[in-house]
A and B are shown apart, each in its own frame.
Chain A
Amino acid sequence: MSIPPTPAGPALEFDPPLSPVMRIDCPVRLDYTIAAGREQSRFLRAMSRGHLLGRRCPECRKVYLPPRGTCPRCGVMTAEDVEVQPRGTITTWCVTNVPYEGQVLELPYVTASVLLDGADLPFYFLIQGLPADQIRMGMRVEAEWADTLGPTLDSIRCFRPSGEPDADPASYAEHV
């Protein structure tokens, strides 16, 4: 099929000439129904009952929390439930001072990587109950559970200093 030639029309004038288009709006919305995996579902269900449920690698014996389905070092399925204590040691931390869109917490606030007692993988939590400039590595903290528990990380409102002496750096050196 041949296409008839387009008749020549008046040339379009651009002012300024050929200015680049810097923006077009193309809103995109994609909806998903999230299905947590088997082990993450067990972890979340345990949280709704006030428990922290990790899984142990059958080869290297490390305990992962949250459980990931496999041991990322050994590549085998984790096989054994291990209850992890809702207290642990801060291995590193971050103070947020800069306001941002969607911010809920009052500034400054602290988030920290907490190595829970019995786990081999640090996990991130909000730390409350102390001035931001007193946060430090090795500090011992414990969980404050929310009033309403559910299959969500919101079941733990935050961690607070437990009052125990700081942990020996050797006890968490491998996880920093």
Chain B
Amino acid sequence: MVDVAIVAFAQRPSVRNAVGDEVELVQPVIQQALEDAGLRASELGFVCSGSCDYLIGRPFSFVTALDAVGAWPPLCESHVEMDGAFAFYEAWVRLQHGDVDTALVYAFGRSSLGSLPIILSQQLDPYTVAPLFPDAISLAALQARALLDGGRATERDFAEVACRSRRAAEGNPNAQLRQSADVEALLGAACLRPPLRVHDCPPISDGACAMVLATGERARAIASARGRAPAWVAGVDHRIDPQDLGSRDLTRAPSAKLAAERAGAHRAPLDLAELHAPFSPQELILREAMGLGPQVAINPSGGALAANPMMVAGLTRVGEAALRIHDGRAGRALAHATSGPCLQQNLVCVLEAR
């Protein structure tokens, strides 16, 4: 295997209704990540982005966004119509070829322009489910209800996740929701989609982030020049559960369990885990699936409950974990990204200092 490390990560604060189109959103973070790594776009071995045209209702927005990179002379470039975390995976695979030693990964999402919960219904089975327009919050509520009915969690557990996440985000200037009432007050609120209350759901966020990867000696050189530890990718894996919601137990995430095992999560103790759980009950499901005990700090950044720019929040989990390796706050960290309804797809990445 070729050793790959995250050597730079930049993000912009998540907000509702960001001013600026996708190019204006993403160019500053790309420039910041490249400057932070001391690279120019023309030096990059590979570029990969994650975004989704459904969010802004405009085809090929990822091609427009390439204007933000500076694509002359032509770049070796790819794109995933998914969260940037999956672009990160593609870049890691590309670097395994060993012929190039740097890659740029970026992601952008303007979730504010359309009716996001309904837009997300279009990722469901086009014949039997999407025509019913089940919105994303209702599907998450279905999953939460199954968790309650199975006796595996309580509404208080959900509220505790939300409260802890948003209070953790007080230290994260890029988060959108950075405070929380206490659990008792949260439980006093009416339900939005029973059993979910507003605090159990993510904000609608516009955002962008960018990351630079490098291999072996190149990674060591870039990181040491900046006085930071490279965040080495010890393992990465992506697994998928069935799309049909009726054919799986919504209270379990076997694909997350498998991805964590294959990524080597349990080979040594973890200091922290950044989990991409947009709805509070999903964090409980993921922690159980991945076997994350109380000694693992969960979402010190605040996670997706504090800021959820679509197509960005997963890559941000990887970036937030990497930043904590860079400055020595963590020695070994797990980062997770999800896609699809009710935790259908799960990517797990293990980062470590060496």
B-binding residues in A (CB < 8 A): 24, 26, 28, 30-40, 68-77
Q: How many A-B residue pairs have CB under 8 A?
A: 85
A76 to B40, CA, bound (A): 11
Interface: B71 (CB within 8 A): yes
Decide yes or no: A76 and B20 within 8 Å by CB, A32-B57, A33-B113, A70-B27 being known contacts: no
Partner of A75, one of B20, B24, B27, B126: B27
* Chain B contact residues, majority secondary structure: helix
- Given the known interface contacts A26-B131, A70-B68, A76-B31, the answer about A38 and B24 at a Cβ–Cβ threshold of 8 Å is yes
Q: Binary interface profile of B, 112-137, with partner A (CB < 8 Å = 1, else 0)?
A: 11110011001000110011000000
CB distance from B279 to the nearest CB of A (A): 22
CB <8 Å contact, B70 and A72: yes
B64, B67, B71 — which one has the most chain A CB atoms within 10 A of its CB? B67
B66 in the interface, Cβ–Cβ < 8 Å? yes
The answer to whether B17 and A72 touch across the interface, beta carbons within 8 angstroms, is no
Q: Is B4 an interface residue (CB 8 A)?
A: no
CA distance A36 to B73 in the complex (A): 28
Interface size class of B (residues with CB under 8 A): 20 to 34
Bound CA span A37–B30, Å: 18
Q: Could you pull out 15 A-B pairs where Cβ atoms are within 8 angstroms?
A: A30-B122, A32-B114, A35-B17, A37-B19, A37-B21, A38-B24, A39-B24, A69-B27, A69-B67, A70-B27, A70-B67, A70-B70, A74-B70, A75-B68, A76-B31
Q: Which residues of A contact B119 (CB under 8 A)?
A: 30
From known contacts A26-B131, A31-B115, A32-B114, infer whether A72 and B72 are also in contact, taking CB-CB under 8 Å: yes
Which residues of A have CB within 8 Å of B31? 75-76
Given contacts A26-B130, A37-B24, A38-B20, contact A73 B115 (CB under 8 A): no
Measured CB to CB, the nearest residue on chain A to B127 is: A24
Partner of A26, one of B27, B41, B126: B126
- Among residues 47 to 75 in chain B, which have CB atoms less than 8 Å away from a CB atom of chain A? 54, 56-57, 64, 66-72
Considering the complex, give the chain B residue whose CB is closest to the CB of A26.
B131
Is the C-beta of B23 less than 8 angstroms from some C-beta in chain A? yes
